[in-house]
Amino acid sequence: MAFWEEIFLWIAVAGYAVSFLLFLNALVFRKERLQVFGFNLTVAAFAAQTVAIAVRWYVTGHIPAMYTYENSLAGTWIIILTYLVLRRFFPPARPFAVAVTPLVLLILGNGMLSGGELRPLEPAFRSNWIFVHVLFAWFSFGSYLTAFCSGGMYLLKEKSHTGFLIRLPELKLLDELSLRLILFGFFAQSVMIASGAIWAHGLWGRYWGWDPVETWSLISWLVYGANLHLRVTLGWTGRRAAWLAVLSLFAVIFLYFGFGHGSSVHTVVF
């Protein structure tokens, strides 16, 4: 890990940690000023993480897309970006930060523990398709993760309308946001799979090889496809839809953090 990359990354980690505490206190004790401070600190931490990514990109000469650390670095950046965009266009989604920031810290922590050695891009991954494939992979995961937060908040608020839970977004809005996020994530994952297939054909002469990561990518895509089918075609809403959003995420987690370290041609990426 480059010196300035490490400095700015730790600034980002500290910023996300403190902002989580501010968001949590704002939600529990109804302190609107803490919500504002938490948001400003999140933006500052996001800027610091952007600098860390830029430093690593400059030093290594490639987009951070190899091994666990680089994927965690770039992926959590996209997750925070997803939250910031969502907050901008759907202000009631502000409380999502209470769930998003600690999850980002966990993913970043896992990546940092795996080591951040500076490596040149592996020959097999010197392709422009890496930008499309990895970018849309994390956009889909970020959308699914935020939908998970929405579903979890729905279940909490439905169970109790008292205390700090009353400050969570309305149930109808949480349900609608969950559906839209899953729809966006599903299309992003479709682009990820398609670009990966094109990339694989140019690299190995085949579009699909039933590699463990490829297989679980397809399974998770089918899980969220079934999720959308149940919601749009069969009209599942409310509690059942919220449970779908929560449980479906585990298919993606199993893909990224389960088979990502197995005997797979994707080992370099994860």
Q: What is the pLDDT of residues 92-118, one digit of tens each?
A: 778 888 889 998 999 899 889 988 888
pLDDT value at residue 151: 92
Residues 111 and 170 placed together within one structural domain of the fold: no
Q: Are residues 155 and 243 in contact, defined by beta-carbon separation less than 8 angstroms?
A: yes
List all residues 6 or more positions away from 17 whose beta carbon is below 8 Å from its beta carbon.
101, 105
Residues 59 and 143 placed together within one structural domain of the fold: no
What is the SS3 assignment for 264?
coil
Q: What is the pLDDT of residues 216-249, one digit of tens each?
A: 888 889 999 999 999 989 899 989 999 999 988 8
Domain encompassing residue 185: 122-270
Hey, CA dihedral for 143, 144, 149, 155, is it positive or negative? positive
Residue with token string 């948001």: 39
Residue with token string 């980690």: 13
Q: What is the pLDDT of residues 41-69, one digit of tens each?
A: 999 999 999 999 999 999 988 888 777 89
Q: What is the pLDDT of residues 137-158, one digit of tens each?
A: 888 988 998 899 899 989 988 8
Q: How far apart are CA 203 and CA 7, in angstroms?
A: 37
Q: How far apart are CA 23 and CA 83, in angstroms?
A: 14
pLDDT value at residue 167: 76
Instruction: Give the helix/strand (H/E) hosting 249.
Output: helix 238-253
pLDDT band at 186 (very low <50, low <70, confident <90, very high): very high
Torsion of CA 106, 184, 71, 270, to 10 degrees: 100
pLDDT value at residue 116: 82
Residues 205 and 251 placed together within one structural domain of the fold: yes
Q: What is the pLDDT of residues 187-210, one digit of tens each?
A: 999 999 999 888 888 877 888 877
21, 40, 125, 161, 169 from 138: Cα distances, Å: 25, 24, 17, 34, 25
pLDDT value at residue 29: 83
The three-point CA angle 266-262-109 to 5° equals 85
Question: b vs e for 196-211, b when ≥16 Cβ sit within 10 Å of the residue's Cβ?
Answer: bbebbeeeeeeeeeeb
Structure tokens at 206: 């085949």
How many structural domains are present in the chain? 2
Residues 150 and 33 placed together within one structural domain of the fold: no
Residues 134 and 201 placed together within one structural domain of the fold: yes
Residues 134 and 237 placed together within one structural domain of the fold: yes
**pTM listed for this prediction:** 0.82
DSSP 132-151: HHHHHHHHHHHHHHHHHHHH
Residues 148 and 256 placed together within one structural domain of the fold: yes
State mean pLDDT over 8-37: 91
Structure tokens at 213: 């990561």
Residues 151 and 165 placed together within one structural domain of the fold: yes
Residues 162 and 143 placed together within one structural domain of the fold: yes
Q: How far apart are CA 28 and CA 202, in angstroms?
A: 53
Residues 80 and 167 placed together within one structural domain of the fold: no
State mean pLDDT over 77-94: 86
Residues 156 and 105 placed together within one structural domain of the fold: no
